[in-house]
Amino acid sequence: MRVVDRINEILKEKNISKRELAKRLINLDMRASKTGETPTESSIYAYLNGNIEIKADMLPFIADALGVFEQELFSNNTKQNDKILNRIFSNDELNFKYKNIIELLEYLSPKSLEILKISLEQNKQNVEKLNLIIRQI
């Protein structure tokens, strides 16, 4: 899915018009990287209609105007993303552990990453089996 398609999907989900998003972006003082000027409402429409490619430096502004994390602009699996992001950015004591693990993933070798993936998948299956047993009780 293209970023522009995901943005338009979020607009529908949140019942926000393209005009409202354009106004929000202008109010956030989003600036074009080449000119340093705030894009006009019509140029923002061109981005949202896919006529002009959205630049990477615009994404933080768009995410902010939509009230979403930037990562959500790249995936339509928002429920799963929300669950993970909420865990990472929550204020509970697991917060540090999730962030720490994510930071350490950079240092995993491809083989270790595969072993971790398999281990996590097995753990997921075990938890799902346990939840099924508990529901049957």
Query: For position 80, what pLDDT does the model report?
Result: 59
Give residue 15's Cα distance to chain centre. Answer: 18
What pLDDT sits at residue 118? 93
pLDDT at 21: 92
The pTM for the full model equals 0.55
Give the burial class of 10: count Cβ atoms within 10 A of its Cβ; 0-12 exposed, 13-18 middle, 19 or more buried: buried
pLDDT digits (tens, 9 = 90+) for 57-79: 888 899 999 988 888 888 765 55
pLDDT tens digits for 91-134?
A: 667 677 777 887 888 888 889 989 999 999 999 899 988 988 88
Give the DSSP H or E segment for 120: helix 110-136
| 3-class state of residue 48 by DSSP | helix
Q: Which DSSP symbol is given to 56?
A: G
Identity (one letter) of the amino acid at 23? K
